[in-house]
Amino acid sequence: MRWKNTSAKYGSAVIGLHWLTLLLVVAVYGCMELRGWVPKASAWRGTLKSLHFSLGLSVLVLVCVRLAVRWAAGASPPIAPPLSVWQQRLARLGHVVLYAFLLVMPVLGWFILSAKGTPILWFGASLPALMAPDDALGEQVKSLHEGLATVGYFLVGLHALAALAHHYLRHDNTLVRMLAYRRRQGEGGKS
């Protein structure tokens, strides 16, 4: 396994961090969706809420690591056949928006806890507040966070849909570049 990118596919570190990010995002959303099914006075509800915060902050850390690894792993493997200029720009914009979303959402969550005067715990470790308590501002940030969370479903869905469209409609290598294993063309082995 190579951790650096090659001309054919992303390196193992980039691939692993991509899929780990997806798993964490699913877990973050899962905690909040499951919370709606648990009675308000239940200990499980508080556990899901705390886990949501910790996993959300983990997304922030992971995305920072992911950006550093992506830079260190070298140039992204080219898409073959190549995209048109407008498709390249749209793909780049999509990735920038996704990364911005993955960075902004945990920070907004951190601001919400800070504004409410709630201790900010990351798996038990105490983190500093980002601002002084301010209930009114906390509610505004919470509304923004929740609204963007809904947008997140669409962003992740569009990202997955685009990868599938590249694979099944365009028949390029966009999706297989991000898979851990794939058959080599003309060979029965795995790469």
Residue type at 80 in one-letter notation: A
Helix H or strand E encompassing 30:
helix 12-35
| 121 part of a folded domain | yes
CATH number at residue 153: 1.20.950.20
Residues of the chain with pLDDT under 50: 184-191
| Residue 49 placed within a domain | yes
Q: How would DSSP label each residue in 69-84?
A: HHHHT-SPPPPSSPPP
Number of domains in the chain: 1
Instruction: Please provide residue 131's backbone torsions phi and psi, each rounded to the nearest 5 degrees.
Output: -160, 165
Question: Residue 114 belongs to what domain range?
Answer: 12-178
Question: What is the pTM for the complete model shown?
Answer: 0.91
Report residue 144: phi and psi, to 5°: -65, -45
For residues 109 and 53, the answer to whether their CB atoms sit within 8 Å is: yes
Run of H or E including 127: strand 125-127
Short-list 178, 176, 67, 54, CA closest to 121:
54
The answer to whether position 185 is within a domain reads: no
Tens of pLDDT, residue by residue over 149-158, are 999 999 999 9
pLDDT at 182: 57
Query: For residue 188, is it within any domain?
Result: no
Distance CA 35, CA 22 (A): 20
Q: What is the pLDDT of residue 185?
A: 45
3-state class (DSSP) for residue 130: coil
User: Does residue 36 form part of some domain?
Assistant: yes
In this prediction, residue 180 carries a pLDDT of 80
Does residue 83 fall inside a structural domain?
A: yes
Could you tell me which of 152, 146, 173, 188 has the C-alpha nearest to residue 80? 173
One-letter amino acid at 39 equals P
Angle at CA of residue 61, ends 160 and 130, nearest 5°: 120
Specify if 186 maps to a domain: no
Q: Tell me the per-residue pLDDT of 114-168, one tens digit each, with 9 for 90 and over.
A: 999 999 999 999 999 999 999 999 999 999 999 999 999 999 999 999 999 999 9
Indicate whether 109 belongs to any domain.
Answer: yes
